[in-house]
């Protein structure tokens, strides 16, 4: 009983079988996050006079772009985990595309996900910034849900700790376990910290957006700032390998860039569009 309450238990499984198929819990968490983000975004989009079917069309562009962007950003910032590790080019390429093994960089997903959303919005005759504002809080919650995938993969944990909620990580056959620590070491559950930050941050963003009637991309700008502030500090305690520049990890610099972009975007949009949007559409939607 004491062992149970004095640590955050490690996950019993990372995948399960459904007939001949292996379902990876990491991928399942990503999928659940996408669904939650769409449902929240759909409600917000409809509240602004939009149509959920139109938003779904846009999301179907944004999601694959976001997954590709997240994977490319991760691989680009962790080349040592892929290049020269496997004996054949085919093996290297297979591990590069193996998203279910873990490794989706959120900032890469944001960048290319926005490209996909812009394409979808352009095709649908919808204001791009309206889409960003509708989806932003749900995306933040989705990111928090996705972090549970890191929990099931036993990766991206924080520094060693003796706090009651320390996370137990299995050492055997786990390449993510730091070799300098003995088996049974407890680590900060960085995934849980980010989950809590993301959910609370999304609720705060929704409240602020409602109180001040934020539109024209200002909700998305606020999302960039809120997420990046939390990510900067949580990233600082993580133990997974990362390039360090001038004392900060790669994704801490990404977080700094996210804060600067979010603040700048908010300022520019507030100057250009002090009022509210007339409609989420740039042209009359087709009657179906």
pLDDT at 1 over 60: no
Task: Tell me the per-residue pLDDT of 190-220, one tens digit each, with 9 for 90 and over.
Answer: 999 999 999 999 999 999 999 999 999 999 9
Local confidence band at 245 (pLDDT 50, 70, 90 cut-offs): very high
- The gap between the terminal CA atoms of the chain, to the nearest Å, is 60
Q: Let me know if residue 13 belongs to a domain.
A: no
% of the chain residues with pLDDT over 70: 92
Residue 9's pLDDT band, with cuts at 50, 70 and 90, is confident
> What's the confidence (pLDDT) of residue 5?
44
Q: What is the number of H-type helices and E-type strands within the chain? A: 9, 6
Q: How confident is the model at residue 78 (pLDDT cuts 50, 70, 90)?
A: confident
Average pLDDT for 105-112: 95
Percent pLDDT > 90 in the chain is 68
pTM assigned to the model: 0.91
For 46-75, what is the mean pLDDT? 94
**Total tally of structural domains belonging to the chain:** 1
Residue 91 — very low, low, confident or very high, per pLDDT cuts 50/70/90?
A: low
pLDDT: which is higher, 209 or 104 = 209
Pairing of strands 186-187, 244-245: unpaired
> 3-class DSSP state for residue 82?
coil
Q: What is the DSSP letter of 166?
A: P
Please report which confidence band the pLDDT of residue 284 belongs to, taking 50, 70 and 90 as the band edges: low
Q: Is residue 148 part of a domain?
A: yes
Q: What is the mean pLDDT of the chain?
A: 90
* Residue ranges making up the domain that contains 98: 24-272
| CB within 8 Å of 20: residues ≥ 6 apart | none
In-domain check, residue 16: no
d(CA 132, CA 139): 10
Residue 281: the pLDDT is 95
Q: Is residue 153 part of a domain?
A: yes
Poorest-pLDDT segment among 18-22, 99-103, 133-137: 99-103
112 pLDDT above the threshold of 60:
yes
Mean pLDDT of 1-19: 72
DSSP lists the bridge partners of residue 160 as 187
Give residue-wise pLDDT tens across range 247-264: 999 999 999 999 999 999
In a domain, 7, yes or no: no
Answer whether residue 279 is part of any domain.
no
pLDDT of 286: 60
Does residue 68 form part of some domain?
A: yes
User: Mean pLDDT, to the nearest integer, of 157-184?
Assistant: 89
What pLDDT is stored for residue 97 in this prediction?
A: 74
Q: What is the pLDDT of residue 113?
A: 97
Tokens 């928090």 label which residue? 144
Q: What gap in Å lies between CA 221 and CA 225, rounded to an integer? A: 7
Residue 105 within any structural domain of the chain: yes
User: Among 11-20, 46-55, 92-101, 129-138, where is mean pLDDT lowest?
Assistant: 92-101
Whether 3 shows a pLDDT value over 60: the answer reads no
* Ordered DSSP codes for 1-42: -HHHHTSBPPPS-SEEEETTEEEEHHHHHHHHHHHHHHHHHH
Q: Which long-range contacts (CB under 8 A, 24 or more apart) does 59-62 make?
A: 59/34, 59/117, 59/120, 59/135, 60/120, 61/116, 61/117, 61/119, 61/120, 61/123, 62/113, 62/114, 62/116, 62/117, 62/120, 62/135
């Amino acid at each position: 009983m004491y062992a149970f309450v004095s640590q955050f238990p490690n996950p019993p499984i990372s995948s399960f079988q459904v007939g001949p198929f292996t379902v990876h819990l990491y991928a399942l968490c990503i999928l659940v996050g996408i669904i939650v983000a769409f449902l929240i975004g759909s409600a917000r989009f409809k509240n602004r006079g939009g149509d959920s079917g139109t938003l779904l069309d846009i999301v179907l562009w944004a999601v694959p772009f976001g997954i590709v962007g997240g994977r490319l950003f991760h691989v680009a910032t962790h080349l040592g985990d892929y290049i020269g590790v496997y004996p054949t080019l085919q093996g290297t390429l297979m591990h590069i595309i193996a998203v279910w093994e873990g490794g989706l960089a959120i900032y890469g997903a944001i960048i290319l996900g926005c490209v996909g959303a812009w394409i979808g919005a352009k095709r649908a005759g919808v204001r791009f910034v309206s889409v960003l504002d509708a989806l932003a809080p749900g995306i933040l919650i989705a990111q928090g849900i996705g972090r549970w995938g890191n929990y099931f993969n036993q990766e991206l944990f924080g520094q060693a700790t003796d706090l009651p909620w320390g996370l137990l990580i299995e050492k055997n056959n786990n390449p993510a376990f730091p070799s300098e620590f003995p088996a049974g070491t407890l680590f900060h559950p960085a995934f849980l910290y980010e989950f809590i930050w993301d959910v609370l941050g999304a609720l705060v963003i929704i409240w602020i957006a409602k109180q001040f009637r934020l539109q024209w991309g200002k909700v998305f700008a606020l999302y960039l700032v809120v997420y990046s502030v939390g990510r900067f500090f949580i990233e600082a305690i993580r133990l997974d390998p990362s390039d360090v520049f001038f004392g900060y990890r790669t994704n801490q610099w990404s977080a700094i860039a996210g804060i600067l972009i979010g603040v700048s975007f908010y300022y520019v949009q507030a100057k250009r569009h002090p009022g509210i949007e007339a409609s989420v559409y740039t042209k009359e939607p087709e009657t179906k």
